[in-house]
Structure 1
Amino acid sequence: MKIEYAFDVEDRIFQPKDYIYINYRKINNQDVLPYFIFLNTAVGVKVRKITTRRLWLLEDKFKRRLHDLIHSQLIGTNGTNIQTVIGLEEACDGCVKCSNIAKKCLEYGPLRISTLQTMTYSKNYKKLHVTDKLFEDIAEYCISKSKNKEECFKELDKTILSTISCDKLALWINENRVIPNEGTDLKFDHRHMPREVIDIILRKWNVKSLKLCMLHMTKEHMCNVKWMQYDYFTRVRLNDPYLKTKQSDLKFSHVEVSLSYSSNCVRDLGNRQLIVNQPKGYDNFIPNIRRMFPTDKITMDLSHWYDIARTDIEKKMSTILQVVTMEQHQNLSLDIKFFVESGIVKKLNEETNKEDLLGIAPGYVLQENRLHCFKKSSPFNGNNGPEVFLDNKWIGRRFQVDHAENRFHFKLDVYIKEKELEERLDKKLLQEYPDSFVGHFYA
């Protein structure tokens, strides 16, 4: 079950409201309890998975009530059926009810430090979620319990227990955090994380694979900076120059990257020279991933709804290729899903004042694969949020780059909405440019 508060990111309309979306159905505050009772009694739903998003944006009274109703009506006192709970601690910052349910789940998080400190039991999780803020909290907790670096690292070793293990670790990383007391000139950015905290979690929890979730906004936008006043921990960011990042001796089967809710990272991957927003260093993203989380396989989903690419497909594809090959990768399979608007395939010719269809960027080879997927989007109605979430079909083609000598294989799957392909492109123009990029979506 998915429970989320939705707002229009493009217009920054995210004032707290007294409604929520449950499985994409809009439910007002007063109707939540009757709806949950209906699910329990009339339908007999046994909830095994609960994913919540952005509950922290709700009005406090509604947020607390919703949190308690989820526990009482959906999870139940014993949590007999529940297997997955994601995001609920954003509504409570880690309460006893949530930490008790964490023991029952196979997938849970993001963890607050209060919940982490209750995890003294032995358990293998399929997946645990953590945040960059948790890393800071752990570092500062260990510093507060010690008098020097040696004592601090002993405390860190006691805090992260090897009785817990997880097959996959999901890291939620906020791209737009601020440092306290910056004054009026706030610099929103991905902030440094304590490397040793990350490494000990990966090692002691026996993590096999990772998922990196780059998020343009989370509840935890304010940094903890006390840990940076000590020289105990190595500072690391995924958008720092990659040559500064020390190579880990660990190895992971797969690193999955979600940029569905990214702003800065998803934008920088396709733009090296931004007009309005300065690049924030995410061209270092992939080399830094391979240094911090060594792997031979990276898959990446770019956003299908926010900062979606709209202009010059040739330039975008060239820039992406430039970014992913900035470092000559050895033994890497990299797959990227790239969602674009149909207008990206054409460009105004200033000499003829006519639109030309763009071609495939140099370096790519078109593959035979014909792809499709379904993604939900949410057209907004003023300040009232989306009245409905639409399931859109996207049509894709695969473009590949192979460097056999380095065993580097890059697949870029480019998707355009089926509806836009049917309605927004001039058929005569397609006939005039038979070898155009978009022409391959019809061939």
Structure 2
Amino acid sequence: MSAENSVSEILYAKVFTNQHLLENILSYLSDDFRKNLNVRLLNKRINNTFLRLIRRNHRKMKIEYAYDIEHFETRLKDYIYINYRKINNQDVLPYFIFLNTVVGVKVEKITTRRLWMLEKKFKRRLHDLIHSQLIGTNGTHIQSLINLEEICDGCVKCSNIAQKCLEYGPLRFSTLQTMIYSKNYKKLHVTDKLFENIAEYCISKSKNKDECFKELDKTILSTISCDKLAIWVNESRIFPEDGEGLEYDHRHMPREVIDIILRKWNVKSIKLSMLHITNEQMCSVEWLQYDYFTRVRLNDPYLGTKQSDLKFNHVEVSLSYSQGCVRGLGNLPPETNPPAAYDNFIPNIRRMFPTDRISMELSHWYFVPKIDIEKKMSTILQVVSMEQQHNLSLDIKFFVKSGIVKKLNEETKREELLGVASGYVHQEKRLHCFKKSSPFNAKHGPEVFIDNKWIGRRFQVRDTVHQFNFNLDVYIKEKELEKGFDKQLLQEYPNSFVKHFFA
């Protein structure tokens, strides 16, 4: 054996016996493993490592029908996204079978999104494949199952799995009725539609208000408890054709239903998810014909919202998939069309879900502001301080386009950099996060959603007298910062907003 061959074999052995190094090499191939299955043929160690990486990458699975909100009607329905990668519908069955039989995947968390938009036959098949190939009959490994009931509207398979999970939902009413067992969930998801269904069920079982509330008490059992309750609110619900008001909006909810769930389930913290659309668009109107329940809505005038006597550790607000609320918070009427009154949002949250800590994340992919950072910051401050807040810590993650920090001077025709809005103080805190996004072809979509790095800076408003602390964390894409500003312009405006991103 030549010395050269001997050295090569030694190097080969060092690489393929070093598990950490081998995993790093194969990780680039296992992300899109379907195109790289041939590497399994090299040797047994590579095959085992490759399969182990696939197993690890599929402990959590996100299965979604993603689309560009402005072109969703033209989007083809012959593909979905699994863990942010495009998969044609005909490839889903072999994909799942490979994960189940060859990889031996043990899926712990499955999140689905907007699968109700798929063709009826395929979405039912997809629902059954998720159960048979990913969850299994006994659901031994599954800990979290989110949003699968949007396909089946609450079937026996899903309600059985709900008993095994630590996180589940959103619950359909049929699943809620099966929850007669004793269990503490880490997180349960519910919808505004469920609140309506509960109210209407109790009305149907009673002859008067007292009987209705007795039925409500029997319907919501205290054997169930959850640490966090996630409430999904649909922003684009409509009344039936013979009802009043056909415009899309967030609709009233029965307050007493919400309150009894919060009490009897011993909820410790809240998550509010504002969604621009769900498959539960049509409102139930029967309960509105009775005066049994108090009507409440998060964008109603806050002075009419009764203060709850409960207290929660934390209220988290997600506007990642919002259209109305995320737009309304950064603007004030009459800038929004129609005016959605989301300037009442935070005062109403504190009345319905009293807390000393609110965190809010705005959308990074839809209605990302791109004009006048000073005005946007001022408007947000105006909205969050509309009512004098006492004993509140409020954090908002605000994603913006890089163009928002500058404007064109109409007289000189030169670009100028905008400053920090009055009332805010910049904090010496360097922030960053990663968000999945890719340019979306209207029909075909991207092959994969990639991580984009966002760079953030914190701007604070503090009222020590009333113990109000507001942190506005503003994020700009790293790539936009790298190519969007020249040094001379930054030097010319040393007190500009964007200068803090380069300090």
Shorter-chain TM-score tier = over 0.9
Equivalent AA in structure 2 for residue 45 of structure 1: V
1:275 and 1:12 map into 2 onto residues whose CA distance is 25
Aligned to 1:209: 269
Within the alignment, does 1:128 sit opposite 2:210 as a pair? no
Q: Greater Rg, structure 1 or structure 2?
A: 2
Bigger share in helix: 2
Secondary structure at the residue paired with 2:361?
strand
Secondary structure at the residue paired with 1:370?
strand
Aligned to 2:172: 112
**Paired residues for 1:248-327 under 5 Å:** 248-275=308-335, 277-327=337-387
2:71 and 2:484 map into 1 onto residues whose CA distance is 24
Structure 1 contact 3–23 (Cα < 8 Å) conserved: yes
Equivalent AA in structure 2 for residue 308 of structure 1: V
Aligned to 1:43: 103
Pick aligned residue for 1:178 from 235, 238, 244: 238
1:182 and 1:7 map into 2 onto residues whose CA distance is 32
Shift in alpha-carbon separation, 1:424–1:345, aligned structure 2, 3 A: same
Aligned to 1:93: 153
Aligned to 2:71: 11
Equivalent AA in structure 2 for residue 415 of structure 1: Y
Aligned to 1:191: 251
Tell me by how many angstroms 1:184 deviates. Answer: 11
Aligned to 1:56: 116
1:389 and 1:144 map into 2 onto residues whose CA distance is 47
Structure 2 contact 272–317 (Cα < 8 Å) conserved: yes
1:229 and 1:14 map into 2 onto residues whose CA distance is 39
Aligned to 1:160: 220
Equivalent AA in structure 2 for residue 346 of structure 1: K
Pick aligned residue for 1:356 from 413, 416, 433: 416
Within the alignment, does 1:395 sit opposite 2:448 as a pair? no
Greater CA drift, 7-16 or 299-308: 7-16
Structure 1 contact 10–306 (Cα < 8 Å) conserved: no
Secondary structure at the residue paired with 1:388?
coil
In percent, how many aligned pairs have the same letter?
A: 79
Tell me by how many angstroms 1:15 deviates. Answer: 4.8
Greater CA drift, 206-215 or 273-282: 273-282
Q: Which digits, 9 at most, give the CA deviation of each residue in 1:257-309, with x for residues without a partner?
A: 00000111111111114546222010000000000000000000000000111
Structure 1 contact 8–14 (Cα < 8 Å) conserved: no
Within the alignment, does 1:435 sit opposite 2:487 as a pair? no
Structure 1 contact 15–57 (Cα < 8 Å) conserved: no
Tell me by how many angstroms 1:64 deviates. Answer: 0.2
Structure 2 contact 333–341 (Cα < 8 Å) conserved: no
Structure 1 contact 102–108 (Cα < 8 Å) conserved: yes
Equivalent AA in structure 2 for residue 318 of structure 1: S
Structure 1 contact 380–387 (Cα < 8 Å) conserved: no
Q: Which digits, 9 at most, give the CA deviation of each residue in 1:355-399, with x for residues without a partner?
A: 210000000000000100000013112311222202100000000
Secondary structure at the residue paired with 1:382?
coil
1:231 and 1:105 map into 2 onto residues whose CA distance is 37
2:216 and 2:129 map into 1 onto residues whose CA distance is 36
- Paired residues, number: 443
Unaligned regions of 5+ residues in structure 2, if any? 1-60
Runs of 4+ with deviation above 4 angstroms: 182-185
Tell me by how many angstroms 1:213 deviates. Answer: 0.1
1:379 and 1:135 map into 2 onto residues whose CA distance is 37
Equivalent AA in structure 1 for residue 413 of structure 2: N
Could you tell me the TM-score, scaled by structure 2's length? 0.86
2:310 and 2:333 map into 1 onto residues whose CA distance is 34
Q: Which digits, 9 at most, give the CA deviation of each residue in 1:11-62, with x for residues without a partner?
A: 3346561211111111111111110111123322100100000000000010
Equivalent AA in structure 1 for residue 442 of structure 2: G
2:483 and 2:153 map into 1 onto residues whose CA distance is 47
Tell me by how many angstroms 1:435 deviates. Answer: 1.2
Aligned to 2:162: 102
Aligned to 2:477: 417
Equivalent AA in structure 2 for residue 20 of structure 1: I
Structure 2 contact 71–442 (Cα < 8 Å) conserved: no
Equivalent AA in structure 1 for residue 431 of structure 2: L
2:363 and 2:236 map into 1 onto residues whose CA distance is 17
Aligned to 1:243: 303
Structure 2 contact 111–147 (Cα < 8 Å) conserved: yes
Structure 2 contact 328–336 (Cα < 8 Å) conserved: no
Unaligned regions of 5+ residues in structure 1, if any? none
Within the alignment, does 1:71 sit opposite 2:119 as a pair? no
Secondary structure at the residue paired with 1:211?
strand
1:270 and 1:339 map into 2 onto residues whose CA distance is 11
Structure 1 contact 49–84 (Cα < 8 Å) conserved: yes
1:150 and 1:90 map into 2 onto residues whose CA distance is 33
Aligned to 2:404: 344
1:112 and 1:296 map into 2 onto residues whose CA distance is 31
Within the alignment, does 1:140 sit opposite 2:219 as a pair? no
Tell me by how many angstroms 1:214 deviates. Answer: 0.3
Secondary structure at the residue paired with 1:285?
helix
Aligned to 1:227: 287
Secondary structure at the residue paired with 1:117?
helix
Secondary structure at the residue paired with 1:398?
strand
2:437 and 2:285 map into 1 onto residues whose CA distance is 37
Secondary structure at the residue paired with 1:61?
helix
